[in-house]
Structure 1
Amino acid sequence: MDNDSLAQRDRRVLWHPCTQMRDHETLPPIPIRCGQGVWLEDFNGKRYLDAISSWWVNLFGHANPRINAAIQNQLQNLEHVILAGFTHEPVVRLSERLIEIAPRGLAHCFYASDGSAALEIALKMSFHYWQNRGEKKRTRFINLANSYHGETLGALSVGDVALYKETYKPLLLEPIAVKSPDCYHRESGESWADYSTRTFADMERALEQYAGEVCAVVVEPLVQCAGSMRMYDPVYLKLLRQACDKYRVHLIADEIAVGFGRTGTMFACEQAGITPDLLCLGKGLTGGYLPLSACLTTDEIYQAFYAEYNARKAFLHSHSYTGNPLACSAALATLDIFRDDDVLNRNRKLVTHMARATAALAEHPHVAEVRQTGMILAMEMVKDRKTREPFPWQERRGLAVYRHALEQGALLRPLGDVIYFMPPYVITSEEIDFLAQVAREGIEAATRGD
């Protein structure tokens, strides 16, 4: 087996996600034979540092021996069982563990397979709650500009990235979009906290105007990941929790990408000291091993569905692989690593090193900003640093950085012209230095002559 033969077979039968397949005529997909730690290896023996955790899922490295052992042990006993009318020890134990570490007040776990599905659950659960309470006019949602929540139709509806959403607009719900607290747009000298506080006025107006017809506000806490890794201050979440309580509207926190230590705390909501009404988790939940997501909610919401069968109040939502035992075992092993290895404290050193390694890029003539929240760091390439004029999207400058990084042995998949690091937590300081060098060289190559 070699790279070329497998890539040719791939092109005959596969349709890859989030990809213009014609690009593969000149940039074939890279076949991966194995992975170890932060490294992926192709069939020709070339290695690539997985700087984006294989789409933000891998926390503790590829082929992690502890997660491997947990899955292998579970495989000897039970691979799957229907979760309607049945249960099993891994899903019960995982639910207990999640409720123990989640923001206080969340009391029940509903499982699915991926982030979009967890968001669908949260949207339906919130809407259905109000229906069960007799508040039939509540049928809408409030979202943030530049937000992203997944690509199934409900999740896509409450997102706001035109690239993903525009084509499907006739099929979608119409949320009430409000200004994002994205601090990229702050005034010179204005702090993140001040800007995020100032932009909250738009959310307050929307809640005041539409509260009686709104089920919930949906946000990605602290980082709008697919929206170019734009970031904001925790004060916005604190104000939002207060306002949702004031206007009797649910708060849905989409922590699919930012949960499990990505922002520096186990959950991003912790930095604002708040508890959402519904918390969506996924991606890193299983350490990047198997599809599993969850929607955690309060006992108040749970009780609105708890009734005699004839009342027709049950939440009739299901997925075939809900609460899969193998995935739950991987998740339990992942939580064990957090508990046993003092991961969050150890990550603080990596966070500091990432900032130091990329600091010089903040002065690059074609970098508008280097921003960071915990283990997420982003560098925004622009045509003009002073005016922040972007490069024309058709020029695909980010793709040039991606190509350069592959040549050098790094996986840096940009978001447009935003280059970012979101590595597994087992990365070393030396490997961070390597990524910083590759990114710097890639940005130089992509902007040379401008």
Structure 2
Amino acid sequence: MTLSSRDRALIWHPFTQEQTAELPIVITKGQGSYLYDEHNNAYLDLISSWWVNLHGHANITIANAIHQQALKLEHVIFAGFTHEPAIELCERIKALLPPHLTRFFFSDNGSTAVEVAMKMAYQYWKNKGSSKRNKFISFVGGYHGDTFGAMSVGRRSGFHDQFQELFFESVTIPYPDTWDGDPEVEQKEYESLTQLQQLLEQEHEQIAAFIAEPLVQGASGMRMCRPNYLKQVVNLLQEYNILIIFDEVMTGFGRTGANFAFEIVDCLPDFLCLSKGLSGGFLPLALTITSNHIYEAFLSNDFNTAFAHGHSYTANPLGCAAAKTSLDLLLTAKTQSAIQAINSCHLQSLPDLMRHCKSLRNARVQGTIAAFELNANYAYSMKDLKAQFLTQRLLLRPLGRTIYLLPPYSITVDELNDAYLKIANIITNADLCVLS
């Protein structure tokens, strides 16, 4: 029996309709920007394996750091104990953050990092005597994870419809997603801000916090907004004393062109949620970072005011060792240069692709992320298109009608340019566009 068949007999895969899905491809190793299957076919990983892989697969520097840490301490309970890898990781990240973000809470995935921030925001107001603040504001299309709190603020993302009746109350405002040459962006932004203003005038005393994926809504199709618009949103919310949660699970660690997207927006969140690229794609790890002002609201002689939340693998030393090393690599001149090179390649190659393929629309780029959409009036199967990408050894995973590229920083300009050419040929040969 093949490995794929053995998998099918046992394993339930995420985001998969198991009855109609093809047998999974067995990956045996990774190296740099490539993944290799059991037949030694090499696939260029253009989505960083669900956006987690920063520096390429099987990075030897991170692997060695994990190995050395495993020889000393693999894990210890984090209630009442601590260890150097966790402390050093927080110190190094703190050095990159605004002075007010000083308190670090560990968890193990992006959904939970968001859940922690929401629970902290709610309990902060409760500890302060404002129990009426029990609602959250989010954007239409925002996706923040699959735990129930994260799903509640992602109710308008389209991913969680099966669970709507179990969600707590939250409110959404329109998201003015935009693209190159969008003639309606200013009107969309005006309408969104107007609706937010009206909402705050009526309900601000009931709002605990606002949560957003800054600049890029990932799972909803790499939908992008303009930095100045988001800054206006944050400024308006802060006028009403609303806490700000930035979900940078995907956008953190260079993805948007800066270390963190909030730097481009030029605003200061009360909570910062990090995961995915935090450990360079090696091990599950997450952080919820907040201010001393928030932290102090949980301090008293009464345990009921404490933040009673935790996980068995909180601050796992191996994950922290990976994250420390990944952060060191991120800050090198080599990686920073690679981030800029990816952005430049997107800015040059994506317009060429759009000119070549008339069935494409809404091109947009933010840092190392590029995205475009297929016109709705073309009949085709996204499943077949994805299969064609795999045939050309490109690992791409379209989000609805959106095709996006979010490669690891190990990719070369030649590899990325070649990928654009292959994408153009695939779309052309599938009769999905009219050549100019």
TM range, normalised to the smaller chain? Answer: over 0.9
Q: What residue in structure 1 maps to residue 194 of structure 2?
A: 201
Does residue 354 (structure 1) correspond to residue 346 (structure 2)? The answer is yes
Match of 1:312, SS state, is helix
One-letter code aligned to 1:210? E
Task: Give the C-alpha shift of residue 344 in structure 1.
Answer: 2.8
The one of 210, 218, 227 aligned to 2:220: 227
Q: What residue in structure 1 maps to residue 107 of structure 2?
A: 112
Task: Give the C-alpha shift of residue 446 in structure 1.
Answer: 4.3
Does residue 20 (structure 1) correspond to residue 17 (structure 2)? The answer is yes
Measure, in 2, the Cα distance between the counterparts of 1:257 and 1:93: 23
Task: Render the CA deviation track for 1:235-257: whole Å, top value 9, x for unaligned.
Answer: 12211221222101100000000
- Structure 1, unpaired ranges of 5+: 385-390
Measure, in 2, the Cα distance between the counterparts of 1:233 and 1:195: 11
Does residue 267 (structure 1) correspond to residue 260 (structure 2)? The answer is yes
Asked if structure 1 preserves the Cα contact closer than 8 Å seen for 2:179 and 2:363, the reply is no
Task: Give the C-alpha shift of residue 349 in structure 1.
Answer: 2.0
Q: What residue in structure 1 maps to residue 178 of structure 2?
A: 183
Task: Give the C-alpha shift of residue 447 in structure 1.
Answer: 4.4
Measure, in 2, the Cα distance between the counterparts of 1:242 and 1:161: 24
Asked if structure 2 preserves the Cα contact closer than 8 Å seen for 1:366 and 1:381, the reply is yes
The one of 145, 160, 171 aligned to 2:140: 145
TM-score with structure 2 length normalisation? 0.95
One-letter code aligned to 2:263? E
Measure, in 1, the Cα distance between the counterparts of 2:85 and 2:222: 34
Match of 2:305, SS state, is coil
Of 345-354 and 102-111, more deviation after overlay is shown by: 345-354
Identity across the alignment (%): 39
Task: Render the CA deviation track for 1:138-171: whole Å, top value 9, x for unaligned.
Answer: 1000010111000111101101455311111011
Task: Give the C-alpha shift of residue 402 in structure 1.
Answer: 1.0
One-letter code aligned to 1:5? T
The one of 269, 276, 289 aligned to 1:276: 269
Task: Give the C-alpha shift of residue 204 in structure 1.
Answer: 2.2
Of 99-108 and 58-67, more deviation after overlay is shown by: 99-108
Q: For this pair of structures, how many residues does the alignment match?
A: 433
Match of 2:118, SS state, is helix
Distance 1:5 1:64, change over 3 A: same
The one of 27, 30, 37 aligned to 1:32: 27
Of 152-161 and 295-304, more deviation after overlay is shown by: 152-161
Asked if structure 2 preserves the Cα contact closer than 8 Å seen for 1:119 and 1:254, the reply is yes
Does residue 419 (structure 1) correspond to residue 392 (structure 2)? The answer is no
One-letter code aligned to 1:335? L
Distance 1:448 1:193, change over 3 A: closer
Asked if structure 2 preserves the Cα contact closer than 8 Å seen for 1:400 and 1:442, the reply is no
Distance 1:216 1:154, change over 3 A: same
Task: Give the C-alpha shift of residue 272 in structure 1.
Answer: 1.8
The one of 180, 188, 206 aligned to 1:213: 206
Q: What residue in structure 2 maps to residue 252 of structure 1?
A: 245
Match of 2:282, SS state, is coil
One-letter code aligned to 1:291? P
Does residue 7 (structure 1) correspond to residue 4 (structure 2)? The answer is yes
Match of 2:350, SS state, is helix
The one of 317, 320, 325 aligned to 2:312: 320
Q: What residue in structure 2 maps to residue 167 of structure 1?
A: 162
Q: State how 1:60-99 maps to structure 2 within 5 Å.
A: 60-99=55-94
One-letter code aligned to 1:290? L
Q: What residue in structure 1 maps to residue 414 of structure 2?
A: 430
Task: Give the C-alpha shift of residue 61 in structure 1.
Answer: 0.3
Task: Give the C-alpha shift of residue 445 in structure 1.
Answer: 4.1
Q: State how 1:46-57 maps to structure 2 within 5 Å.
A: 46-57=41-52
Task: Give the C-alpha shift of residue 22 in structure 1.
Answer: 2.1
One-letter code aligned to 1:177? T
One-letter code aligned to 2:388? H
Asked if structure 2 preserves the Cα contact closer than 8 Å seen for 1:357 and 1:433, the reply is yes
Q: What residue in structure 2 maps to residue 295 of structure 1?
A: 288
Q: What residue in structure 2 maps to residue 400 of structure 1?
A: 384
Measure, in 1, the Cα distance between the counterparts of 2:396 and 2:182: 30
Match of 1:237, SS state, is helix
The one of 393, 396, 409 aligned to 2:393: 409
Measure, in 1, the Cα distance between the counterparts of 2:118 and 2:45: 33
Q: What residue in structure 1 maps to residue 333 of structure 2?
A: 341
Task: Give the C-alpha shift of residue 208 in structure 1.
Answer: 2.1
One-letter code aligned to 1:52? I
Measure, in 2, the Cα distance between the counterparts of 1:8 and 1:414: 25
Measure, in 2, the Cα distance between the counterparts of 1:291 and 1:264: 23
Asked if structure 1 preserves the Cα contact closer than 8 Å seen for 2:173 and 2:192, the reply is no
Match of 1:435, SS state, is helix
Measure, in 2, the Cα distance between the counterparts of 1:449 and 1:323: 49
Q: What residue in structure 2 maps to residue 383 of structure 1?
A: 376
Measure, in 1, the Cα distance between the counterparts of 2:433 and 2:31: 38
Asked if structure 2 preserves the Cα contact closer than 8 Å seen for 1:104 and 1:275, the reply is no
- Structure 2, unpaired ranges of 5+: none
Asked if structure 2 preserves the Cα contact closer than 8 Å seen for 1:144 and 1:178, the reply is yes
Distance 1:187 1:423, change over 3 A: closer
Asked if structure 2 preserves the Cα contact closer than 8 Å seen for 1:193 and 1:234, the reply is no
Task: Give the C-alpha shift of residue 383 in structure 1.
Answer: 2.9
Task: Render the CA deviation track for 1:69-121: whole Å, top value 9, x for unaligned.
Answer: 11011000000001000000000111111111123310100011000000100
Q: How much is the aligned-residue C-alpha RMSD, in angstroms?
A: 1.9
Task: Give the C-alpha shift of residue 340 in structure 1.
Answer: 2.6
Measure, in 2, the Cα distance between the counterparts of 1:305 and 1:28: 49
Measure, in 1, the Cα distance between the counterparts of 2:372 and 2:27: 27
Q: What residue in structure 2 maps to residue 240 of structure 1?
A: 233
Task: Give the C-alpha shift of residue 193 in structure 1.
Answer: 6.7
Distance 1:409 1:297, change over 3 A: same
Measure, in 1, the Cα distance between the counterparts of 2:137 and 2:349: 38
Q: What residue in structure 2 maps to residue 124 of structure 1?
A: 119
Q: What residue in structure 2 maps to residue 442 of structure 1?
A: 426
